[in-house]
Amino acid sequence: MNFFKSKKKEENYFVQTAPSKKITHPLEEFCNFPERLGVEFGLYLAMKESVPVIDAAISKVTRLVGGFKIECDDENTQRDLNSFLEKIKVNSCSVGAESFIRTYMNQMLTYGTAAGEIVLNSYGSGIEALYNAPLQNLVLKVESDVLKLSIYKKSNSELTPVRFPELVMISALNPEPGKVYGNSIMKGLPFFSGILLKIFNSIGINWERIGNARFIVTYKPPANTEINVKERAAQIAREWSRVMKNESPSDFVVVGDVEIKVIGADNQILDSKVPVRQILEQILTKLSVPPFLLGLSWSATETMSTQQADILISELDSYRRILTPVISKICKTWLLFKGCNTEHKVKWEFINLKDELRGANARLISAKAEEIVQKIETKNKNFREDV
C-alpha cells in the first residue's frame, strides 16, 4: 500500500454572475429584471416564440456574422491563441469562442444588452471557460462617475457588487444618451406583431368554424294540418344526427318542406395576403434582413436583391465592430496570463464567396479605370510637350 501517495486536488471554479437561486416558475425570470425591463424583456422573448419570422431573422443574422481568427506578430503565440479559442469551454455544454460570441450576439439583438464573463480556474492562473450571463442575474448602474459602469449581482432580492468586474463583458446596442441598457432590435415591433398574431388567430377561428361544416335544418310544416310539429322536429333531429355520426356516407330522406344549409357558408374569409405582407415588410425592415434569405420572394429584380444584400452586409459589419472589443478582451486576458506582450488583431471571415468576388471585381474595374486615366493624362502631357 502506498501511504505517501498524495491526493490530486480537484479543479473547480466559480462563476460570479451565475444565478444564486433556482427559478421554479416559468414567469419568475421575467419578474427579476430591474425596474421596467422585466415586462419589456419578457415581451421580446414572447415575440420570438410567437412570431417565427423574428426568431428566424435573428438566428440568420447571428450565423451570418461568421467566424474569426486572431493574427499576432509572433506565429507561435498566434497558433496557441487560436487553438485556445477553438477549445475553450463555453457554458456547460459548448466548446469554442465562436459559440460564446453567437449566444452573446443573440442576447444583444434580442434584449439590446449582452453580458458575458471570463471564468478563471481555481488557482487563478488561467482562463477556464467563458460564460454567457443571463441579464436577470445582473443590474447595471451608473452612479457618481458617469463614465464608470457598476455591475451588481442579484442575490435573494439584494444587490451585491460583482467581485471582479474586469472579468465581465457588457455590450449595449444603440443605447440612448444617459442610459446603461441598449435597445433591442425588436424595439417598435410589438404593435405590428400584435396585429399579425390577431390576423392569424382570426384565420384559425374562422377555419375552425367554416372548415368544420355545421348544418342548420329548418322544417316548415304545411298549413292547416294536424301534425305534431314538436314530435316531427324531434324525429328529423334524431335521424339527422344518426346520419352525420355514421362513419360511412348515408342518405337523409325526409318528407315535407325541409331546408338544409351550412352555417357560415355565405360568409367570406377576408383576404389576409396584403395586410400580412405589409406587416412582415415592416418587421423585416426593422430587422434589416432581406426577404429572400427567409424564403420570401418579394424582390422584383436582381438589382433590388443585390442592394438588400449590401444593406445586410453593412449591418453585419456594424455588429462585428461591437463584438470585436469583446473578443479582444478575451485575447488580452489570455496573453496577460501567458506573460506575452504581443499585439493581436481580430480578423473576421468573409461573409460569403459572392461578396468577396463582387468586391474583387469592383477593385479590378476601379484599377483598370485608374490605369486608363493615367494613360490619357500621359498622352495629353506628351501632346502638350510636342506642341
**Residue 387, domain member (yes or no):** no
Domain contains 79:
yes
199/331 Cα distance (integer angstroms): 49
CA end-to-end distance (rounded Å), the chain:
107
Residue with cell 506565429: 75
Asked if residue 41 belongs to a domain, the reply is yes
Q: Are 104 and 132 in contact (CB under 8 A)?
A: yes
Count of structural domains within the chain? 1
The domain in which residue 355 lies consists of: 9-185+288-373
Residues of the chain predicted below pLDDT 70: 1-14, 19-39, 209-212, 224-227, 246-251, 255, 263-269, 297-305, 352-361, 363-364, 386-387
Task: State residue 387's pLDDT score.
Answer: 60
Contacts of 104 (CB under 8 A, 6+ apart): 114, 116, 132, 169, 171, 323, 326
Q: Could you tell me if residue 151 is inside a domain?
A: yes
In tens, the pLDDT along 85-94 reads: 999 999 988 9
C-alpha cell at 205: 377561428
Q: Does 274 map to a domain?
A: no
Q: What pLDDT, on the 0 to 100 scale, is given for residue 329?
A: 94
- pLDDT tens for each residue of 262-292: 766 666 667 778 888 888 888 888 888 877 7
User: How large is the angle between the packed helices 273-287 and 190-210, nearest 10 degrees?
Assistant: 150
pLDDT of the residue at 26: 38
Asked whether residue 260 is domain-assigned, the answer is: no
Query: Is position 85 within any domain?
Result: yes
Residue 282 lies in a domain: no
Helix, strand or coil, per DSSP, at residue 168:
strand
